[in-house]
Amino acid sequence: MAKIQSKHETDFEAELLSGSAHQVPGKINVTEYWFKVPLDYRNIAGESLRIFARSAEPLNKPIVAESDPPKQLPWLLFLQGGPGGACAPVRQGSWTSFFLDKGYKLLFMDQRGTGLSTTITTETLIKRGDPQAQADYLKHFRADNIIRDAEAIRKVLTKYYPTINKKWSILGQSFGGFCSIHYLSFYPESLREVFATGGMAPMVRQPDALYAKLLQKAIEMNKAYYAKFPEDIARVHQIVEHVSTNKIKTTNGGLLTPYRIQNLGMLLLSLDGWETLHNLFLRASTDLSTTGEILRPTMMAIEQQVPFDNAILYAIIHEACYLSGSASNWSAERALAANQSFNISQTPKDQPIMLTVENITHGTFAAYESLQKILPAAEIIASYDQWPKLYDEVQLAKNTVPVYASIYVDDLAIDFEMAVRRAKSIGNCKTYITNQSWHGGLKEHCDEVLGALFALRDDVMA
C-alpha cells in the first residue's frame, strides 16, 4: 500500500542562502537565488541540498524615483520537463516574454539533482557508497520531493507578502506537469492556477500498459517518418549493420550499439527533431559509404542528441516517476520485448527499423560508460516497490484550483487517451486538445498553445 506524506514532512521553509540581480536584454531583471533544503523531509536536521533558481520580472526604470515600494507581481513557477532536466537561461524560453507580458514574475527552479542545484552525476553518485547507498539517495529525487522543495521556496519568497499574494501559479511542461498534479494533490491551498502542457500524468500505479500504448503510437510516427524520408530505410539498416559487426567506441567512452541508434527515435518527439534525425542518418551513411567508418563529427553529433552520460537521473528514475507502491522491473524493456515490431534482428532489409522513444532498458546502460558504472543501483531502483503515493485521487476529484491543460493527440511521451482520462479526473480542469502540436508544443508553438490556455482562462464558451 503506497503511503501518503504526512503534514510534518511539508511544514518547512527553505533557507535563502543568497541572491544577486542583473539585467538581461529585453528589459528583464533576473535574480539568481540559492536555497538550502533537506535531502529528506522526514529528517530536516539531516543532510541538506542546495537548490538554484532564477527569477525574471520586467525591468522598470521610472524617470522620477517612486516613493512607494515596487509592486509585488504574482509569482509563476516554471516546472521543467524530465526527469533530470535543468532550466535553460530565462531568455531561451519563449514563454518567458509571454508570461511577463501577462503581468507575472517567473521563477525557474533547477529541480533537485539537476542543473546548478545539488547535481547527480555518475561521479557524485559513486561517492555515496555501495549500490544500495546510491539507490537510497536516488529515492529522494522524484516529484514528491521536488514539490516539497518548491513549496518550501514559495514560503520564503512570499514570507512578507500579503495573504492574497502568497499563492503562486505554475507552468508545468511534460514531467513538470506530473509535478504540478502532485502539487494539486497535496498543497492546493498554495496554488492560484495551474498551466500544464503535455503533462497530464497517467492514472497508473505501474507503467506497463502505458509503454505498450506508446509503442503503438511510436510505430505510427515511425511510418510517417519513413514515408517522409524513404531513403533512410536503407541508411538505418546500413548504420545498424556496421555497428553490429564492429565494436565502435564513442568519443566519451561509450559504445555505439544498434540499440543506441534505435533510441535516436527520441528525436521524433519534436517537430524540429525529424530534420535533425534525418541529417544524422544522412551523415552517418555518407561517412560509411565514403570512408567505411562513422567519422568523429558525426559521432559527436549522435552523442549530443541523446546524452544519457549527462542525464543519468532520467535514465535511472524515469520509470519511477509513475510508481506508487509497486516496482517497475524494467517495464519499458518488457514492453519492447513483447512488441516484435521493434526487434532489429527480425526486421527485413526492405522494411524500416522501428525507432524507440522514451524507453530505458539494459541496452541503454550498456551503451553509455557513465551508466554502466551505476547499473547495480539502477537494478535496485527497478525492483523497489515501496514508493510513496504520488497523487491523491480524492483530493484531485474535488479540486477547485483552476487547471488549464494542453493535450496533444500525437504525443509520443504521454498517451492521448490516458491524458484525457487524467484531465477528467481533476476537478475544475479545462483542456485544449490539438493535433497541430506534439510533445514540445510549448517550445515550438508557444503563442498558440499558451494563447489557447489563456482563452480557456479568460473567456467563456457561450
Q: Which residues pair with 196 in a beta bridge?
A: 172, 405
Distance CA(292)–CA(1), nearest Å, equals 56
- At 283, give phi and psi (nearest 5°): -65, -45
DSSP 17: E
Gyration radius of the chain over CA positions:
23
Distance CA(461)–CA(219), nearest Å, equals 37
Q: Are 103 and 131 in contact (CB under 8 A)?
A: no
Q: Cis bond leading into 83, ω under 30°? A: yes
Dihedral sign from CA coordinates of 359, 365, 370, 374:
positive
Of 393, 13, 351, the C-alpha closest to 201 is 393
Of 182, 424, 192, the C-alpha closest to 321 is 182
Q: Mind telling me the catalytic residues?
A: 174, 411, 439
For 216, how many CA atoms within 13 A lie in the half-sphere containing its CB? Answer: 8
DSSP 308: G
Can you spell out the DSSP letters for 253-307?
S-B--HHHHHGGGGGGGSHHHHHHHHHHHHHHHHHHHHHSS--HHHHHHHHHHS-
Distance CA(290)–CA(84), nearest Å, equals 38
Q: Are 200 and 423 in contact (CB under 8 A)?
A: yes
Distance between start and end Cα atoms, the chain: 45
- Amino acid making up residue 312: I
User: Any residues with CB less than 8 A from the CB of 30 and at least 6 apart, and which?
Assistant: 21, 22, 23, 24, 54, 55, 56, 90
Residue position matching grid coordinates 548504420:
239
C-alpha grid cell, residue 74: 504574482
